[in-house]
Amino acid sequence: MQDLINLHSFGASVIYSFVGIFILVLSFYIVEKITPENLYKELVENKNTAIAIVAGAFMIAIAIIIASAIH
């Protein structure tokens, strides 16, 4: 009987997921450091919607790049 889940593929998917999340967080940290304003402060304390949209678009763009590179 065939296994329902191939453990090798599952393990690789989990590892690549963690690598992708790490790269996403690292790239957001780098953008945080090179921008003149503190993005986290603007998002949480000042509730700046424009910066929230830009940060979300950045995360989606980096996630697409990471996903296509891993795939």
pLDDT in tens, 44-70: 888 889 888 988 888 888 888 877 776
Pairwise CA distance, residues 29 & 69, whole Å: 20
Residue 18 belongs to a domain: yes
Please give the pLDDT value at position 1: 46
Task: Say how many domains are in the chain.
Answer: 1
Supply the range of the domain harboring residue 49: 7-70
How many angstroms from the chain centroid is the CA of residue 44? 19
Under DSSP, the state recorded for 45 is T
Please return the burial class of 43, using the count of CB atoms within 10 Å of its CB with bins 0-12, 13-18 and 19+. Answer: middle
Residue 1 lies in a domain: no
Query: Is 45 among the domain residues?
Result: yes
Q: Which amino acid is at 55?
A: A
Residues 6 or more apart whose CB falls under 8 angstroms from that of 63 comprise: 20, 24
pTM of the model: 0.65
